[in-house]
Structure 1
Amino acid sequence: MSTNDSATTASTRQFVLEKESELRLEVGPEALLRLRLTAGAAEVFGAELPPGKWIIVPALRNIAIFTWKGATIELDGISEVEYVADETPMVSYVNVHAILDGRRSRTKNSNNLDSSQGPRTIVVGPTDSGKSSLCRMLLNWACKRNWKPTFVDLDISQGSITMPGCISASSVEMPMDAFWGFPTEMPVVYFYGHTSASVNVELYKVLMKELAQTLEKRFLCFPEYEVAGMVINTMGWIEGLGYELLLQAINTFNVNVVLVLGQEKLFSMLRDVLKGKPHVDIVKLHKSEGVVLRNQKVRQMSRSYRIREYFYGLNNELSPYSISMNYGDISVYKIDGGPQAPRSALPIGAEPITDPTRAALVNINYELIHAILAISYAKEPDQIISSNIAGFLYVTEIDVESKRITLLAPCPGELPSRLLIMGTLKWSEN
């Protein structure tokens, strides 16, 4: 068995894993690494590796290849860190899955209409505690049991389903590929436009409610989705206002299972505040020692990769399309309440009031360069906040003299809507 805690050279090496152990890998931004399973059985985030097939590991990925009964893994290429660990929390994670699976079965077999709701599980914890990884595992294991759970992503900082800066949800109907993201069936996406909830807290709350209401309507039409329940990923902001947003998410999505990762204090606080809700179970779980702490630079780089992936694909397999339009062909809005009226224009004694959820028209100028714009399904501006998103555009050029704007779109064709939304989310191809 080979182990290496530093950067490795581009050579082929083999790891023999004992039962209930895992191979942990950290892949850098420029590294090229591929792997294959040569013996036994192994999985990544609950997704089984196909035997004998070389798989490319995308850049900036931290993964753990786990085996229940033993496996042999072959690596070829470069990784920053690679080592085998025999102490993992996987048994406790799969025990949680077994409990959720039992609840789904009981709900499906129940004749009581009041108990038709499957487990609605929210995963909470500080930044870099393994929340999104646990969500993947729970979703994959549920799909292997032929359930169709709904994944809800409230983490606006990275974006698992689509672009960062979004609150989104999608039903998951088949096990997800180990590395290539979430297969999205009928995704519902609301554009928040920022990577921090503190920029516009009221908007974040409103969009959570909009998403929850949309999912409740979907569950009425598709009972199998309601029985399978939800797996909800959250932000790593767990103190002060972030903690209040967690409580709001628990109430908004009618959560009945709370999984707390790696935070004794948060577990204690939630247990105390939710003890009046007998139908809400709170479970404390250990985070994996393989979870990697990322600094701000790495987070920004990961976000940039995610945006680029939307337009170009993970391996540059997509060909985005450039569109040049007149200013008058589109209307760009920003949801921040717009500028306040001057005090001189208000009645004596009145204070200026802004509505942080109001869509204000934006003048197209150089401020939009490199901005990510969301295409709204709204028919009218006052419907923007309650309408989900058709897709995204990237502003590549502004010509003030000719009043034309050049946009990068993921595909050719007419835009689904002329109403676009901007936030503070920007990206540069360079």
Structure 2
Amino acid sequence: MDSKVQAHTLAQGHELRIEVKPDKVLLLKLVQGEAEIFGTELALGEQLSLRGQKLAVFTWNGCTVELAAEDAQVDDVAESVYESDDTPMLSYLNVHESLEQRRRAAREAGTSGRTGPRTIVVGPTDVGKSSLCRILLNYAVRTGWAPTAVDLDIGQGSITVPGSIAATPVEGPIDVEEGMPIDLPLVFYYGHQTPTENPELYRAVVERMSSILDKRENVDVQAAGLIINTMGFIEGLGYELLLHAISALRADVVLVLGQERLFNQLKTHLRAQQRVSVVRLHSSGGVVSRTPPVRKQARMQRVKEYFYGVRGDLSPHSQTIRLDDLRIYRIGGGPRAPTSALPIGASSVADPIRVTPVSASLDLMHSMLAVSHAATPDQLLSVNVAGFVLITDVDIVQRTITYLAPCPGSLPGRYLIAGSFKVFLE
């Protein structure tokens, strides 16, 4: 066989697991039968460009796919390629069917207040939570629904840049190359890579997101429900935030991937809530554990894709602006109350959700800032953001900053939110 083109014939119920090396491109084509990638059906004869991805091509009835590499051997661009019949796809399909029944019941109930399934996927890092979310979203789309994807994983960011909590309607199959649709995202900026930086702010942002999602009045949208992705931080504070998210978003289906202990904890905590179903699912044998450096590299890649596109075919815009034309704020860290207002002997502590202005300094270099739709600083916690800019230069003498934006033109707002997220693009 020509090692520049590899053909793989899969039996029914099997999958081809592929790991593409970082910064490499593998070409994939379905040449016979039917197949899907995380629930997205592949078109016969269409060639896909897989860039640094880890994925599985699954077939219910059998198929043949071809792998190729431009000007290279397949083995030069792929870490591994292997077939497996040990797949949890049947159990994932059963979950979809159960969610489908809830959606139909919610639609039949109409405006009586009954909503569709609010499904939250939980588990430790690298067990396939994001992949399961994509599968369930795609299966819902394929049966005529437009569910809402909600991403609470601030460390990676499957909808927009890391450090954000976001939601977006999914009205069509999720593109294998491009990922989640970002035409109409609802985004709030937390600004940090871990909830330990400011857990109260994290809770506040989740609650605000939930309140907006609850106000949607379209019966079909509500019946389609939510598919919620979460962090892999499940111990101590992470577990407390997980319980808070389940409550705040009113999740009624909890899918636990990969850990029996977490499953039993949640079953115990949620036992009194009869409306909540807790289901344990097995992870795919193809999940790959990532080291902290690899996870950091993935975060930087997500930011790079935001500005330059997945294929690198977008042209971000660099602009210099006077600092007086902007107002930069940080949420958290200011004093909760003046010392004079505290009891004798008490000391003031930081207010985790206080909005405080940020003075221009070199500390802003390489910072990701969120551009808010807020009309006043008081609205920064309650109003979603329009997008993000990356600070590339700060001139204290001239009182200007230079930033990178996804597109040219003036910013859609003058209020910017800063966090601790620093980005160094190559």
Map of 1:275 onto structure 2: 271
Q: How does 1:30-429 map to 2 (within 5 A)?
A: 30-59=23-52, 61-77=53-69, 78-110=77-109, 113-114=112-113, 116-218=114-216, 220=217, 222-338=218-334, 348-429=344-425
Q: Is the CA contact 2:335–2:351 (under 8 Å) kept in the aligned structure 1? A: no
* Deviation of 1:343 (Å): 6.5
Give the match's secondary structure for 2:232.
coil
Instruction: Write the distance in 2 (CA, Å) between the matches of 1:350 and 1:267.
Output: 42
Output the amino acid matched with 1:412.
P
Map of 1:6 onto structure 2: none
Q: Is the CA contact 2:107–2:219 (under 8 Å) kept in the aligned structure 1? A: no
Output the amino acid matched with 2:63.
A
Question: Per the alignment, do residues 374 and 299 of structure 1 end up closer, same or farther by CA in structure 2, a change over 3 Å counting?
Answer: same
Query: How many pairs were matched up?
Result: 419
Output the amino acid matched with 2:105.
R
Question: Per the alignment, do residues 340 and 81 of structure 1 end up closer, same or farther by CA in structure 2, a change over 3 Å counting?
Answer: same
Give the match's secondary structure for 2:28.
strand
Instruction: Write the distance in 1 (CA, Å) between the matches of 2:424 and 2:47.
Output: 32
Give the match's secondary structure for 2:313.
coil
Instruction: Write the distance in 2 (CA, Å) between the matches of 1:413 and 1:429.
Output: 22
1:21 matched to 2:14: yes
Give the match's secondary structure for 2:134.
helix
Alpha-carbon deviations, 1:103-144, whole Å to 9, x = none?
Answer: 111221236714x21111000001001000000000000001
Instruction: Write the distance in 2 (CA, Å) between the matches of 1:86 and 1:370.
Output: 46
Q: Is the CA contact 1:172–1:185 (under 8 Å) kept in the aligned structure 2? A: no
* Deviation of 1:426 (Å): 1.2
Instruction: Write the distance in 2 (CA, Å) between the matches of 1:339 and 1:318.
Output: 42
Give the match's secondary structure for 1:398.
strand
* Deviation of 1:350 (Å): 3.1
Output the amino acid matched with 2:127.
S
Give the match's secondary structure for 1:113.
coil
Instruction: Write the distance in 2 (CA, Å) between the matches of 1:231 and 1:429.
Output: 31
Alpha-carbon deviations, 1:253-275, whole Å to 9, x = none?
Answer: 11111100011000101111111
Output the amino acid matched with 2:412.
P
Question: Per the alignment, do residues 32 and 339 of structure 1 end up closer, same or farther by CA in structure 2, a change over 3 Å counting?
Answer: same
* Deviation of 1:354 (Å): 2.2
Give the match's secondary structure for 2:320.
strand
RMSD: 1.7
Residues 250-259 or 341-350, more deviating: 341-350
Q: Is the CA contact 2:32–2:63 (under 8 Å) kept in the aligned structure 1? A: yes
Map of 1:5 onto structure 2: none
Instruction: Write the distance in 2 (CA, Å) between the matches of 1:100 and 1:342.
Output: 51
Give the match's secondary structure for 2:297.
helix
Output the amino acid matched with 1:182.
M
Instruction: Write the distance in 1 (CA, Å) between the matches of 2:3 and 2:241.
Output: 45
Output the amino acid matched with 2:280.
K
Alpha-carbon deviations, 1:213-244, whole Å to 9, x = none?
Answer: 000112x2x22110011100000011111111
Q: Is the CA contact 2:116–2:225 (under 8 Å) kept in the aligned structure 1? A: yes
Q: Is the CA contact 1:171–1:185 (under 8 Å) kept in the aligned structure 2? A: no
Output the amino acid matched with 1:363.
S
Question: Per the alignment, do residues 144 and 345 of structure 1 end up closer, same or farther by CA in structure 2, a change over 3 Å counting?
Answer: closer
Instruction: Write the distance in 1 (CA, Å) between the matches of 2:194 and 2:105.
Output: 39
Output the amino acid matched with 1:324.
T
Question: Per the alignment, do residues 347 and 29 of structure 1 end up closer, same or farther by CA in structure 2, a change over 3 Å counting?
Answer: same
Instruction: Write the distance in 1 (CA, Å) between the matches of 2:290 and 2:360.
Output: 36
* Deviation of 1:340 (Å): 7.8
* Deviation of 1:30 (Å): 2.5
Instruction: Write the distance in 2 (CA, Å) between the matches of 1:69 and 1:214.
Output: 42
Give the match's secondary structure for 1:367.
helix
Q: Percent identity?
A: 48
* Deviation of 1:81 (Å): 0.9
Instruction: Write the distance in 2 (CA, Å) between the matches of 1:340 and 1:304.
Output: 34
* Deviation of 1:212 (Å): 0.1
* Deviation of 1:400 (Å): 1.7
Output the amino acid matched with 1:123.
V
* Deviation of 1:376 (Å): 0.7
Name stretches of at least 5 consecutive residues in structure 2 with no aligned partner: 70-76
Question: Per the alignment, do residues 324 and 10 of structure 1 end up closer, same or farther by CA in structure 2, a change over 3 Å counting?
Answer: farther
Instruction: Write the distance in 2 (CA, Å) between the matches of 1:245 and 1:343.
Output: 31
* Deviation of 1:310 (Å): 0.5
Q: Is the CA contact 1:173–1:185 (under 8 Å) kept in the aligned structure 2? A: no
Name stretches of at least 5 consecutive residues in structure 1 with no aligned partner: 3-8
* Deviation of 1:345 (Å): 10
Output the amino acid matched with 1:337.
G
Instruction: Write the distance in 2 (CA, Å) between the matches of 1:381 and 1:337.
Output: 16
Alpha-carbon deviations, 1:265-306, whole Å to 9, x = none?
Answer: 001011111110111111110000100000001101111010
Residues 228-237 or 177-186, more deviating: 177-186
Instruction: Write the distance in 1 (CA, Å) between the matches of 2:397 and 2:341.
Output: 34
- TM-score normalised per structure 1: 0.94
Instruction: Write the distance in 2 (CA, Å) between the matches of 1:112 and 1:313.
Output: 40
Q: Is the CA contact 1:48–1:178 (under 8 Å) kept in the aligned structure 2? A: no
Q: Is the CA contact 1:172–1:184 (under 8 Å) kept in the aligned structure 2? A: no
Instruction: Write the distance in 2 (CA, Å) between the matches of 1:85 and 1:147.
Output: 31
